[in-house]
Amino acid sequence: MKIEIKEAVEFLRSQDDYLILMHASPDGDTLGCGFSLCGALQRMGKRAKAVCPDEIPHRFDYMREAVTEQEFEERNIICVDVADTKLLGDMKEMGDRAALCIDHHVSNTEYAERLLLRENYAAAAELMYEVITALGVEIDRPIANCIYTGVATDTGCFKFSNTTPQTHIIAAKLMECGAEIAPINYAMFELKTPGRLKLEQEVLKGISFHAEGHVAVITVMKSVVDSIPDIDSDDVGAMAALPRQIEGVDIGISIKEKKGGIFKASLRSSERIDVSEIAKQFGGGGHARAAGCSFSTTFEEAERLIVEASCAAVRQAGLI
β-strands 18-22, 48-51: how paired? parallel
DSSP helix/strand/coil, 257: strand
Please give the pLDDT value at position 228: 95
**Residues 204, 173: one domain?**
no
Is residue 160 exposed (0-12), middle (13-18) or buried (19+ Cβ within 10 Å)? middle
Q: What is the pLDDT of residue 181?
A: 98
State whether 51 and 181 are in the same domain.
yes
- Residues 82, 168 within the same domain: yes
| 265 three-state secondary structure | strand
Of 163, 165, 166, 190, the C-alpha closest to 271 is: 163
| 56 in the same domain as 118 | yes
Helix orientation angle between 165-176 and 141-154, rounded to the nearest 10 degrees: 160
Domain limits at 240?
194-316
Q: What is the pLDDT of residue 195?
A: 93
Both 245 and 167 in one domain: the answer is no
Domain boundary among 137, 164, 189: 189
- Domain end call among 159, 189, 219: 189
- The answer to whether 7 touches 100, Cβ cutoff 8 Å, is no
86/23 Cα distance (integer angstroms):
9
The answer on 213 and 151 residing in a single domain is no
- Residue 163's domain is classified under what CATH number? 3.90.1640.10
Would you say the pTM of this structure is higher than 0.75? yes
Q: Are residues 107 and 207 in the same domain?
A: no
**Which helix (H) or strand (E) segment is 223 a member of?**
helix 222-226
Expressed in percent and rounded to 5, the helix, strand and coil fractions of the chain are: 50, 15, 35
Q: 145 to each of 9, 12, 182, 192, 223, how far by Cα in Å?
A: 22, 22, 11, 20, 36
pLDDT given at position 260:
84
Number of domains forming the structure of the chain: 2
Find how far residue 290's CA is from the centre of its chain: 10
Same domain assignment for residues 137 and 269: no
The one-character DSSP state at 318 is: T
pLDDT of the residue at 132: 98
Residue 85 burial (10 A CB sphere; 0-12, 13-18, 19+): buried
Same domain, 13 and 135: yes
Measured CA to CA in angstroms, residue 241 lies from 67, 74, 145, 227 at distances of 31, 37, 24, 22
The burial of 153, by beta-carbon neighbours within 10 Å (0-12 exposed, 13-18 middle, 19 or more buried), is given as buried
Q: Are residues 157 and 24 in the same domain?
A: yes
pLDDT at 234: 83
278 lies in the same domain as 298: yes
Query: Are residue 18 and residue 118 in the same domain, yes or no?
Result: yes
Going residue by residue through the chain (320 aa), what tens digit of pLDDT does each one get? 999 999 999 999 999 999 999 999 899 999 999 999 999 999 999 999 999 999 999 999 999 999 999 999 999 999 999 999 999 999 999 999 999 999 999 889 999 999 999 999 999 999 999 999 999 999 999 999 999 999 999 999 999 989 999 999 999 999 999 999 999 999 999 999 999 999 999 999 999 999 999 999 999 999 999 999 988 888 998 999 999 999 999 999 999 998 888 999 999 999 999 999 999 999 998 888 999 999 999 999 999 999 999 999 999 999 99
How much is the pLDDT for 261?
Answer: 87
Please tell me the predicted confidence (pLDDT) of residue 259.
Answer: 83
CATH classification of the domain holding 265: 3.10.310.30
Tell me, what's the pLDDT at 230?
84
Write down which residue in 165, 189, 213 finishes a domain: 189
pLDDT of 178 reads: 98
DSSP assignments along 150-187, one per residue: HHHHHTTTTTSTT--HHHHHHHHHHHHTT--HHHHHHH
